[in-house]
Amino acid sequence: MSWHIATVAVVILLIAFAIAAVVLSIMILSRGKFYERLSPEMRPRRWILICVLVLFAIFVIAFSVWMIWPDALVSRVLLSAFGIAFFVVGFAIRLLTPQVDAYVERRGWQLR
């Protein structure tokens, strides 16, 4: 019984962390008071934050469907889409950051 309670507590804690991360990201993207309190060097790049939020949304959908229907074709397709998106976002962050930053600055958009 105590293992079950510990599992539920961990799941609730992870859900709380996920909600806090999404709320914090939205606060940063909306350029509110929290965004203004951060020094310009500490602000995350907006395009990276958007990519990570999209990746998180794909993960939540794919994982939820997989938990309900683990052997269904739709769950395998969604998990494959998550894997591809994870690879693309990781590739973009790791190797294409200077090019994307230059493109964003050239277009006149705000980088941070």
**Domain coordinates of the chain in residue numbers?**
1-40, 44-112
Whether 94 and 87 have beta carbons less than 8 Å apart is answered as: no
CB atoms within 10 A of CB 16: 10
CA distances from 60 to 2, 7, 8, 18, 56 (A): 27, 19, 18, 10, 6
Tens of pLDDT, residue by residue over 47-88, are 888 889 999 999 999 998 998 999 999 999 999 999 999 999
SS3 109: coil
For 9-24, what is each residue's pLDDT tens digit? 888 888 898 899 888 8
Residue 1 has pLDDT above 70, yes or no: no
Among 28, 20, 34, CA closest to 47:
28
